[in-house]
Amino acid sequence: MQNWKKIIKRYRFFGVFLVINLIVLFIYPELGKESFIITAKNLKEMLMVIPPIFVLLGLLDVWVEKETMMKFMGADSGIKGALLAFLLGSAAAGPLYAAFPVAGILLKKGVRLFNVFLFIGAWATTKLPLILFEVSSLGFSYMFLRFICNLIGIVLIAFLLEKATRQEEREKIYEMSQQL
């Protein structure tokens, strides 16, 4: 009984939007159908990419010691750690919301906040497959200009974010990651 209550509580927003979508389907069949088709397509894509990411994260969590990750990307990892975080984000695929669980594990393993933000920025903007795609649809010079701006932007945002995160907030974030 307790379990069911918990599940209902966790999925309540999903239920609300599902009902809204069903109402739309009832009043505007075309629109409602289109909406469900798009949702199904996105769901399929998500279910393709996300499970292996989580399995890899699980393996990383079990096998890689916190000390190892801290050495590579922790507080004293310097420019090498930043570069590694950036490359890690660029090599990834999937939408930005898939990056957050990965960031959570990085935090759990004691990676420096600045490097985690770099990782998220790189995941969002400088992914390699996307760059190839951008060249083919918008041209090389546009891609190149945007890429250079993005490089500066990502580093700047990560720097400002780390500076803007107060000590107690920082502790809270690392604490939250321990529960993963």
Partner 1 sequence: MFTYVLYGTMSVLLIASWSKDKKKTKMALKKAWKSFENILPQLFTVLLIIGMMLSVLDKEMISSLLGSESGVLGMALAAIIGSITLIPGFVAFPLAASLLKAGAGYGQITMFITTLMMVGIVTMPVEIQYFGRSTTIKRNLFAFFYAVVISVLLGGIIYK
- Asked if 131 and 122 count as a contact pair (C-beta separation under 8 A), the reply is no
Contact set for partner 1, span 144-163 (CB under 8 A): 145-146, 149-150, 153, 156-157, 160-161
Residue 55 is a binding residue for partner 1 (CB under 8 A): yes
Q: Based on CB atoms, which residue is closest to partner 1, 75 or 138?
A: 138
Tokens of 152: 């500066």
* Choice from 51, 66, 67, 75 touching partner 1 (CB under 8 A): 51
- Asked if 82 and 122 count as a contact pair (C-beta separation under 8 A), the reply is no
Please, what is the minimum distance in Å from the beta carbon of residue 41 to partner 1? Answer: 8
Contact set for partner 1, span 80-119 (CB under 8 A): 93, 95-97, 100-101, 103-104, 107, 117
List, as one string, the DSSP characters of 60-81.
HHHHS-HHHHHHHHSTT-HHHH
Cα distance between residue 128 and residue 52, in whole Å: 19
Q: Based on CB atoms, which residue is closest to partner 1, 58 or 80?
A: 58
Residue 140 is a binding residue for partner 1 (CB under 8 A): no
* Choice from 1, 2, 3, 13 touching partner 1 (CB under 8 A): 13
Instruction: Please report, as a single letter, which amino acid is at residue 100.
Output: F
Report phi then psi at 109, rounded to 5: -90, 10
